[in-house]
Structure 1
Amino acid sequence: MLEVLEVTRRFGDLTALDRVSFTVPAGQFTGFVGGNGAGKTTAMRIIMGVLAPTSGEVRWDGAPITAADRAQFGYLPEERGLYPKQPILSQLVYLGELHGMGAREARQAGERLLARFNLADRAKDKLEKLSLGNQQRVQIAGAVIAGPKALILDEPFSGLDPDAVDEMFGLLTEFTTRGVPVLFSSHQLELVERLCDNIVILRKGEVIAAGSVEELRTSGPTHHRIVTDNDLGWLQTQPGVQVVDLDGPTAQVAFSDTATAQRVLAEALARGPVHSFGPIVRPLSEYYREVVR
């Protein structure tokens, strides 16, 4: 497990991170979200040792993280890091060697990854000759080539079409099933909601929410949707019922307790057929907009 504990980072008078704490559990995807300038990239750089924290620490498996630990992590930085005029396989081999792989082992791993991404016939091409989506595939291949013990990925799905996202997610899932923690940032909230086990939300350098996707989506008041054949105006006079939206036979309401919900359901059934009656699971994007205001 990767832990960030009370990490603060200042740049002169600017506090980029303010006592930030969160965990990235083993074998799970953790989404890192927040607006531009929220501090996500700064936090990732501190995890990887590119920046030092002003205070606080990063821990790996319960102990302060070391350079040796970080050497076994896969990292996809915000600026990317490949050379546009160098052949892509040569660059993957180079990155593998930086992680301690032998040249032959790195070449074989690079060839396997390029074949998996349907880029085997482009192995000798310069990076700049590839489309942006294929360049991103090569970037991700560079992050995973050495079989990392953790993955820190800054916007890994940027520039990928839906099929490529599924392809990359399938690859990364092979690592989480082996217990590898994966932290990735993204502005695509629908994607984070679909792929992640846990989410950390930053705003102006502070963690304002963290938890599982289910915990965050179901926090706050629960609204119910009711659909019948008859006008639901009678709900407005019911004790313990807050009518959020009403349109003839369709209503969105909040109940004061479970007993009230059951009473209203019984009344609705007595008045005619009920086609739908149940809680509304709000999307992550709605929760996000609520907490970052």
Structure 2
Amino acid sequence: MTLSINQVTKRYQDFVAVNNLTFTIEKGEIFGLIGQNGAGKTTTFRMILDLQETTEGTIIWNGTPINSINRDILGYLPEERGIFPSMTVEDQLYFFGELRGKHRKELKKEVDYWINRFELEEKRKAKAETLSKGNQQKVQLIASFIHKPEFLILDEPFSGLDPVNMDLLKNAILELKNNGTTILFSSHQMDNVEELCDHLCLLKRGVSLFSGNLLDLKKQYGKTKLTIRTDIPQDVLGKLNGVKDIQVGKDQYILTLEDESFAQSIFDFVSDGKYIEKFSLDYLTLDEIFKDKVGGPNV
């Protein structure tokens, strides 16, 4: 393992922000830390970055306490963005790279590559304050890894991005992973977590409700989401054995089953001499599991 969080607690007087948190991240992995606002995600990031001390527990990087490592191996994109408004895109990236101990000559190749990769070539000499929100976010993301860190923390990297720029960022994150960067990130957009992460930790009020493989989390619920496109009326489907709930989509029904064993009898019923355009049994989405686990809306 690369990063080990072992029984970590962070206490502020009578308030416990993180309570006995334990998880591990393997080298070259993208790991998701998810939870509602106030769940303890940012506090955890700050302890990993040694910006705050743990009250109890240990954080270990490759066998070394996190507060003893070379800080230049870390990269961080905070949720609260902060770039220099009067500095050009190019100078900004050189500045952040040099802060991390890199020389301008060795940064040039990376700066040129990522400016082109993020379609910022025409904005290279533009001041940050003149950029759109999406382009500012691209610049700050590049600044977080321009020094080629071994470990990168991304706090809400997709916030406020349009679909095109979101895909650019996703592809960049996957490229960093493929090049060996270990990535820990948080997002309220569960579809992005589901797409990018194999492992995750789900926090609620500072406590881990689950830590491990995403598929293992889904298996806890089983395949209970049944999507059907059929002419059979909703009230008939809703009365079938094993159906807990039924929702009407634009052109289909989405049934929640008590467990997946009821799917066969439902299939037999709806296929008996009737045309079925769609019959799909699957696990719940991470967004649906998240809402069930935290007991409230995804905010």
Bigger drift between 136-145 and 273-282 goes to 273-282
Of 249, 252, 255, 1:252 maps to 255
- How far residue 275 of structure 1 moved from its aligned partner, in angstroms, is 4.5
Quick one: distance in 1 between partners of 2:39 and 2:117?
Answer: 35
Task: Establish whether residue 72 from structure 1 lines up as the match of residue 73 from structure 2.
Answer: yes
Question: Hey, what does 1:164 align to over in structure 2?
Answer: 165
Question: Hey, what does 2:36 align to over in structure 1?
Answer: 35
Quick one: distance in 2 between partners of 1:130 and 1:223?
Answer: 43
- Segments of 5+ residues of structure 2 without an aligned counterpart are none
Question: Hey, what does 1:98 align to over in structure 2?
Answer: 99
Cα 1:141–1:256 shift into 2, 3 Å: closer
Quick one: distance in 2 between partners of 1:250 and 1:6?
Answer: 44
Question: Hey, what does 1:186 align to over in structure 2?
Answer: 187
- How far residue 156 of structure 1 moved from its aligned partner, in angstroms, is 1.3
- Cα pair 1:31 1:183 within 8 Å, conserved: yes
Deviations 1:235-279 (A, max 9, x none): 9576xx4554499x9683636674x65455446545545554442
Quick one: distance in 2 between partners of 1:151 and 1:253?
Answer: 38
- Cα pair 1:225 1:251 within 8 Å, conserved: yes
Cα 1:276–1:162 shift into 2, 3 Å: closer
Q: What is the DSSP-based 3-state SS (H/G/I as helix, E as strand, rest coil) of the residue aligned with 2:208?
A: strand
Quick one: distance in 2 between partners of 1:235 and 1:136?
Answer: 46
Bigger drift between 26-35 and 225-234 goes to 225-234
Q: What is the DSSP-based 3-state SS (H/G/I as helix, E as strand, rest coil) of the residue aligned with 1:96?
A: helix
Quick one: distance in 2 between partners of 1:57 and 1:286?
Answer: 32
- Give the structure with higher Rg (CA): 1
Letter matched to residue 22 of structure 1:
F
- How far residue 211 of structure 1 moved from its aligned partner, in angstroms, is 3.1
Give the length in aligned residue pairs: 289
Quick one: distance in 2 between partners of 1:90 and 1:173?
Answer: 26
Quick one: distance in 1 between partners of 2:258 and 2:204?
Answer: 32
Q: What is the DSSP-based 3-state SS (H/G/I as helix, E as strand, rest coil) of the residue aligned with 1:79?
A: coil
Equivalence map 1:13-32=2 (5 Å)? 13-32=14-33
Quick one: distance in 1 between partners of 2:254 and 2:164?
Answer: 37
- Cα pair 2:50 2:66 within 8 Å, conserved: no
RMSD between superposed Cα atoms in Å: 2.9
Cα 1:253–1:112 shift into 2, 3 Å: closer
Identity %: 34
Quick one: distance in 2 between partners of 1:97 and 1:250?
Answer: 56
Quick one: distance in 2 between partners of 1:158 and 1:251?
Answer: 29
- How far residue 208 of structure 1 moved from its aligned partner, in angstroms, is 1.4
- How far residue 142 of structure 1 moved from its aligned partner, in angstroms, is 0.7
Of 279, 282, 285, 2:284 maps to 282
TM score, norm. by length of structure 1: 0.85
- Cα pair 2:238 2:245 within 8 Å, conserved: no
Quick one: distance in 2 between partners of 1:287 and 1:193?
Answer: 11
- Cα pair 1:6 1:56 within 8 Å, conserved: yes
Quick one: distance in 2 between partners of 1:246 and 1:83?
Answer: 48
- Cα pair 2:88 2:124 within 8 Å, conserved: yes
Quick one: distance in 1 between partners of 2:283 and 2:264?
Answer: 19
